[in-house]
Amino acid sequence: MSNLSKLDFIALEVSGRNYLKWVPDVKLYLTTKNLYPAIEEETKNPGGEAKKATAMIFIRRHIHDTLQTEYLTEEDLRALWVTLVDHFDRQNDIFLLKARHDWQHLCFQDFKSVNEYNSEVCRIRSLLKFCNETLTEEDLLENRTSC
């Protein structure tokens, strides 16, 4: 990727592995530049063609070169955004499956210290929360006693 030196944050990878981190970065940046309405539905979009073009340039600069080539013919900003969402939004499901698997196979005895165990519990809990699932105190207690 030759354009990495010019980026405001990490570009979207071809695999979409960083999609869930990339989307909030794009939304925040476009919001600060008053360009976010350009990617919303047409009925809400008061911006002109210049705003759409600026947002399109920004998004294209922040996707991997291979994705740039794949979506080169896409000229409508909203269509590009929807296509990227459709293509990569299932990453949330992948994270949820991984977090559930990690939680089910988490065993206190597998860790050298309480700190390592707690760190892993926090990581899994955060991932589940990100995927709109929460662990209750009962879940936490049950896991500690199940191994």
In the chain, where the domains are located: 4-88, 91-146
What integer pLDDT is reported at residue 127 of this predicted model? Answer: 86
DSSP 10: P
More reliable by pLDDT, 39 or 65: 65
CA proximity to 135, closest of 122, 120, 116: 122
* Rounded Cα distance, 134 and 96, in Å: 11
DSSP 40: S
What integer pLDDT is reported at residue 145 of this predicted model? Answer: 63
Q: How far are the Cα atoms of 81, 95, 106 from residue 86, in angstroms, in the given order?
A: 9, 16, 32
- Is residue 5 predicted with pLDDT exceeding 90? no
Which residues sit opposite 12 in a β-bridge? 63
DSSP 4: G
What integer pLDDT is reported at residue 66 of this predicted model? Answer: 94
Confidence of residue 8 (pLDDT cuts 50, 70, 90): confident
What integer pLDDT is reported at residue 139 of this predicted model? Answer: 82
What would the two tokens of residue 83 be? 């296509």
By percentage, how much of the chain surpasses pLDDT 70? 88
- The 3-state DSSP class for residue 12 equals strand
What would the two tokens of residue 44 be? 């809400």
- Is residue 45 predicted with pLDDT exceeding 70? no
Confidence of residue 70 (pLDDT cuts 50, 70, 90): very high
